[in-house]
Every structure is written in C-alpha cells, then in structure tokens.
Amino acid sequence: MPLTVHQFPCLEDNYGFLVRDEASGLAACVDTPESGAILRELGKLGWKLALILNTHWHPDHAGGNAEIQAATGARIVGPKEVTRIAPLDREVKGGDEVMLGETRFQVIESGGHTLGHIAYFDPDDRVAFVGDTLFALGCGRLFEGTAEQMWASLQRLAALPEDTRVYCAHEYTASNARFALSVDDDPALKARAEAIFAARERGEPTVPTTIGLERATNPFLRAPVLADRVGAAGENDVKAFAAVRAAKDVFRG
Ligand code: ZN
Ligand code: FE
C-alpha cells in the first residue's frame, strides 16, 4: 500500500510535509517548520499523527516539535543533535529504520549542512525527505560540516534510484537556477531553468524533484565536470564541489 504525501508552504520559503501510510492510516510529519500551519493541515486532512521525523536541529525544522507533540501525542524521532533544542523520543542515525505502519523509512546519514543531518528514504514508494541537504538545483550551506562530508552525503543521495521523488525542505529553486546558469551551459539545465522560472511565475512549487533530474542538472552533483568553470581545474571531486559551493555562497543574482 502506498505512502501519500501532502506538501504545503510554511514560513517564508519552507515546505511542510505530512505523509500517511495508507495500509494503517497512520501519519507522520517531516520536520516542524510552523506548528500552526501543520496542525491546520492535519485537521483539514483528518489524519492521525503518529510520528514527527526530524532531519536536523535548525529551528525551521524542529522548532514546532513541542507544540505539535502536545496537540497530537506524536512520538518524535530524529538525530541526536535535535536535543540541542527539544527532547527526542527516539534517536536515530544512518542505517537505522523507522516504521510508520507498514511503510519503512531508511535513515541516511547526510551531514554537512549540520553535523548530524539525516534523510529519510522509503524504498518501496521511492520517496526521500532530504531536509536541507539536496535542493532542486542546489545543496545546503555548510554551516557545521566540511565539503568532504557534504560531498559524501550528496553521493549517498545521488545513488538512490533515478525516479526517487526528492522532497527538499525549501523553495530555493529559482535562485538556484540563476546560479546554475552562471557556471553551466548544458542544454538540459537551460531547458529545466526555463521550466522552473515559468512554474514560479505561475506560483507553482518546484518540489518534489527527482534524483535523475538532479544528477543531470544540479551544479553541485555536476561539480567534477564544472571544475574548470569555478577555478578548480584538475582538482579532485571534493575540491571541485567545494569550489562550486564557495561560488554559490558569494553569488548575487
Ligand atoms: Zn537548516
Ligand atoms: Fe532549513
């Protein structure tokens, strides 16, 4: 039985995600950017919240944990770093599994944006919740981890099946596309960027993306072939990635 995903905007540019395991009727909330919006959506859907799944400790991801747990009684699952701001009922790390009814989520270590960041992957439905690790045409800023750690995390996500639907936690895609076009002139990227600008013009979300699309057009995953465009010609993959990340950090456009 499938997993249903309900996506809605929260705060300035976050997405909220509610998922339901159709076999059991149990629901989970992936991160808690805005408790009011999440509880409102839950009420509209009439879903019973069993779990909160956190990807990392940042307040726009775990800041609503306490209020949502108080309102629903859901158990909170996440990486240890979340305890910096709120208690966890279960601590998980890469390689662990989390069950929501009959749906199995594999926990994938995806540190770099924060040290303990994790992603959740449901292999039967090919759905991944990647927090602030991989974005449509982008990747998270390196607030705590190293380029080496983030590159390894991105490689783990890029190795998922091509048709995996990737739910990123922010709508950053139009600005990511402007940066991507500044370092890459691949025709597939140009076509995708046009589609993204048009979608945003219409007010449509660009999330979810897919692993296949990101592998083909994401400048961070394509860092090794873009090395000469970012001053890292002849360098290894991690250094090429670090150079793309550094270029994006100062990009204004
Ligand atoms: Zn974050
Ligand atoms: Fe975030």
Q: Which two tokens stand for residue 181?
A: 């076009």
Ligand 2 center to residue 64 CA distance, Å? 13
Residue 69 pLDDT? 98
Q: Is 77 exposed, middle or buried (0-12, 13-18, 19+ CB in 10 A)?
A: buried
Dihedral of alpha carbons 49, 53, 54, 55, sign:
negative
State which residues form the domain around 219: 3-250
| Residues marked as catalytic | 56, 58, 60-61, 113, 132, 170
Ligand 1 center to residue 155 CA distance, Å? 19
- Give the span between the Cα atoms of 253 and 196, in whole angstroms: 16
Ligand 1 center to residue 113 CA distance, Å? 7
Counted domains in the chain: 1
Ligand 2 center to residue 34 CA distance, Å? 12
For residue 82, give the ligand nearest its CA: 1
How much is the mean pLDDT over the chain?
98
User: Checking DSSP bridges between strand 127-131 and strand 48-53, what pairing results, if any?
Assistant: unpaired
Question: Which band of pLDDT confidence, cut at 50, 70 and 90, is reported for residue 221?
Answer: very high
Residue 82 pLDDT? 98
For residue 168, give the ligand nearest its CA: 2
For 179-214, how does the pLDDT look when each residue is reduced to its tens digit (9 = 90+)? 999 999 999 999 999 999 999 999 999 999 999 999
At residue 189, the 3 state secondary structure works out as: helix
Ligand 1 center to residue 245 CA distance, Å? 16
For residue 143, give the ligand nearest its CA: 1
Cis peptide before 2 (omega within 30 of 0): no
- Which residues have a Cβ under 8 Å from the Cβ of 116 and sit 6 or more positions away? 56, 57, 79, 80, 81, 82, 93
- Which residues have a Cβ under 8 Å from the Cβ of 11 and sit 6 or more positions away? 33, 34, 60
Q: Residue 166: is its pLDDT beyond 90?
A: yes
Q: Which residues pair with 8 in a beta bridge?
A: 16
* DSSP, res 76: E
Q: Please give the distance of CA 138 from its chain centroid, rounded to a whole number.
A: 10
Ligand 1 center to residue 232 CA distance, Å? 27
**CB of 70 closer than 8 Å to CB of 76:** no
**CB of 44 closer than 8 Å to CB of 51:** no
Ligand 2 center to residue 219 CA distance, Å? 20
Q: Residue 122: is its pLDDT beyond 70?
A: yes
| Residue 71 belongs to domain with CATH number | 3.60.15.10
Q: Residue 1: is its pLDDT beyond 70?
A: no
